Structure 1
Amino acid sequence: MNRSLLLAILIAVGATLWVVSGPLLSQDGGPDMQKAPATLDRSEQRPDVRVRTQQAEPHTLELVINGRTEMTREVQIRAEQSGAVVELPGEKGEVLEEGALIARLADRDRSAAVEEARARLASRELEFNAADRLLQRGHTAETQHAAARAEMQQARAALRRAELALEQLEVRAPFAGVLEERSAELGDFLREGDSVARLVDLDPLLVVAMVNERDIGDLSVGDRGTARLADGREAEGRLRYIARTAEETTRTFRVELAIPNPSNLFPAGVTAELRLPLEVVPAHLVSPAILVLADDGTVGVRAVDEEDRVVFHPVTIIEQRPEGLWVAGLPDEVTLITVGQEFVLDGQQVTPVDEAEVAAGQPGAGA
């Protein structure tokens, strides 16, 4: 019993000493598990940003509108005499010169009528000449002389009508163009006024579009423009017509751009994008990736000033092209931040690194 009591007393004393010794050891310079707070002064940090210095370039503002191509003129050619079609030299789709034969109708008695009219005119001319000589000699009255003159003139008019009827048996192209349709076939009997063919003129070709009332005042007849067809082909031309009155429903004005089309390569009736230059302004070509938004939602870019501080410039996008965006509102010369613009603040001082150095792999170009 004495031995067991002694052992218990020793264990209790040892436990008490172990508990008491913990705080004492920590005060004697033991390991400190808590790190001191880091001191970070943001104003002393100068992050690297990649920059590019560029100059403004003159850029032409354009009015871009959708339109369609149209022929300059078209005509439905009709028969002026009746008769059967005996010749059709023109094929559908063929390019014809002015005066080219499209169709010929049967003669029937038109040639005979011309010969008869010529003979009658010759007889009336002889009668008039005889009456004229008698009048000069005083052997006939002036009324008889006038009657002979009238009969001669009537015979001359009859000959002209007969010749015209013979000429109208040949249906010819009134202007150079494309034989778009041929409604008559060989052997058809045509009456006066029946359709023979449709002729269209595609040179020049017209690109027609509707311009809103805000922009119509910036355009003038004779201005140059460019048309881009649906298949990607482009052609230049000049404005030949600007409507002076607007469409009642849309309040838009019709404009016509005439483009040369001597070989009829461009068809009518296809959609086209019309670009009309308005004015030339200084602008910068930038990548869409460098655009940022200000706190109020303004679109702009960040640049670096002479003291290497970040500056925000609001911009206006004036045109979007495959190579980038044309923007206005920047100084003539500006050093744009091209990489890192999202991680810096306005007025913050930075270390600019020219992107040309980065591309060349020069030392110190780690931005």
Structure 2
Amino acid sequence: MKRSFILAFVFAVAATAWVASGQLGESGAEPEAQKPPADLAALDKVPTVRVRSSTAQTHAIVDLLRGRTEANRKVEIKVETDGRLIELAVDDGTLVDAGDVIARLSAGDRPARLAEAKALLAQRKIEYEADQKLSQKGFRAETQVAATEASLQAAEAAVKIAEVELAYTEIRAPFDGIVDERMMEIGDYVDRGDAIARLVELDPMLIVTQVNERDIQRLQLGNTGAARLMTGDQVTGHIRHISTVADEATRTFRVELEVDNPNGRIADGMTAEIALPLAETQAHIVSPAILTLSDGGLIGVKAVNEEGRVVFHAAKIVDTDKQGVWITGLPDDVTLITVGQEYVSPGEKVKTVQESEVEERLKDLAS
């Protein structure tokens, strides 16, 4: 009994000492640093975006098409009478002017028939003059005078026919051009309608393409166009012809671009890439990087209005080139967000920094 009391006393003292040691350790340790309260004002800070002022410009929308060169005129020169070919004044590749002699046929008896027709004409003139004098004196009936006049006119026609037949023995170039191919040789006998040479007019040169039915109404005669040939040469000209009848197979329309070719450097049948202006419109040139999508899936750009709030403008891409993309659907003057547009929403208040300011700072840092 006494021993149990002593053990209980010892345990009580030990427990008291253990509790006291814990309290002393806590009182000697440094208090834990408390976190500062959340800065709710920081959540209300206005985001900053980079902007650029843009003004709509007049821009010609261009349609890029494939086409080919085509000679302005290409004809087979054919004889209009028969005879033996006695002279060929040209070779393949010869340049000729309009009216130059290309070939001659044997005249045969044509000079003699012309002389005969002229002699008969002289006779008919004398007969007609005599009948007129007799008629004035009352010695010749009017019917006889009319018959004599008809004979005179027939003689005059016979002379003209003989002259034309003789002229046909000289075959001349109908226009300035180049002899592409000679089809006959000296000594060949030709009949009326036989081709003796092919003549090609290379200046001006045509560049021909096909335009679809959606764009054909946007082209205008006289508009300037450009073409790049497979040789690397670039040429400019004007739209000379727009077909009003569609090709039955492709439902496209033929369009001709006329370009100067004074030296004949552009050959017939070359492949070309053609740029035709479809229309002029007021558009903004922007970088593709600033384009974004609205919640409804519309493509457009974000801008800042006069109140300093973000607005979304749906845009239509009308053309692209090396400078960027041309878009319509925006006001004529607009402040575009160029950096940070993905982190702000329409209606949100923002601070703006002009691109020009950023560029100036970068220049200062670089120097």
TM-score (norm 1): 0.75
CA distance in 2, matches of 1:268, 1:39: 80
Query: Paired residue for 1:13?
Result: none
Q: In the alignment, is the contact (CA less than 8 A) between 2:58 and 2:280 conserved in 1? A: no
Alignment of 1:139-158 (within 5 A): 148-158=148-158
Residues 105 and 170, structure 1, Cα contact 8 Å, conserved in 2 = yes
Give the aligned partner of residue 104 of structure 2: 104
Identity rate, percent: 43
1:327 deviates by: 1.0
Give structure 1 stretches of 5+ with no counterpart: 1-16
In 2, Cα distance between the equivalents of 1:23 and 1:89? 130
Give the secondary structure class of the aligned counterpart of 2:199: strand
Offset at 1:321?
Answer: 1.0
Within 2, Cα distance between the matches of 1:216 and 1:22?
A: 95
Which stretch has the larger CA shift, 326-335 or 111-120?
A: 111-120
Task: Indicate how the Cα distance of structure 1 residues 349 and 153 shifts in structure 2: closer, same or farther if over 3 A, else same.
Answer: closer
Corresponding residue of 1:273: 274
Q: Which runs of 5+ in 2 are unaligned?
A: 1-16
Deviation at 1:77, TM superposition (A): 1.3
Question: Does 1:224 pair with 2:240?
Answer: no
1:195 aligns with 2:195: yes
Please say if residues 103 and 172 of structure 1, whose CA atoms lie closer than 8 Å, have aligned partners that are also in contact: yes
Partner of 1:75: 75
Instruction: Tell me how far apart the structure 2 counterparts of residues 148 and 122 of structure 1 sit (CA, whole Å).
Output: 13
Per-residue deviation, residues 96-155 of structure 1 (Å, max 9, x unmatched): 332222212223333233233333433444455455555556666767656655554444
**1:258 and 1:136 mapped to 2: Cα distance?**
65
Distance 2:82 2:202 in 1: 30
Q: Any conservation in 1 of the 2:60–2:277 contact (CA below 8 Å)?
A: no
Once the two structures are superposed, residues 14-73 of structure 1 have per-residue CA deviations (whole angstroms, 9 ceiling, x without a partner) of xxx99x9899857864696x9959957673345543322222223334455444443443
Q: In structure 1, what is the Cα distance between the partners aligned to 2:21 and 2:195?
A: 123
Distance in 2 separating the partners of 1:317 and 1:189: 66
Structure 2 partner of 1:3: none
Aligned to 1:327: 327
Structure 2 distance, partners of 1:161, 1:38, is 118
In 2: Cα distance, 1:302 partner to 1:163 partner: 82
67-76 vs 260-269, which deviates more? Answer: 260-269
AA in 2 matched with 1:300: G
Please name the residue that 1:43 is paired with.
43
- Report 1:60-139 matches (<5 A): 60-130=60-130, 133=133
Q: How much does 1:75 deviate?
A: 2.3
What is the CA distance between 1:167 and its match in structure 2? Answer: 0.6
Does the 8 Å CA contact 1:63/1:278 hold for their aligned counterparts?
Answer: no
When the two structures are superposed, what TM-score results if normalisation uses the length of structure 2? 0.75
Matched, 1:336 2:333: no
Deviations 1:202-228 (A, max 9, x none): 4544444444334444445x4523132
CA offset at residue 166 of structure 1?
1.3
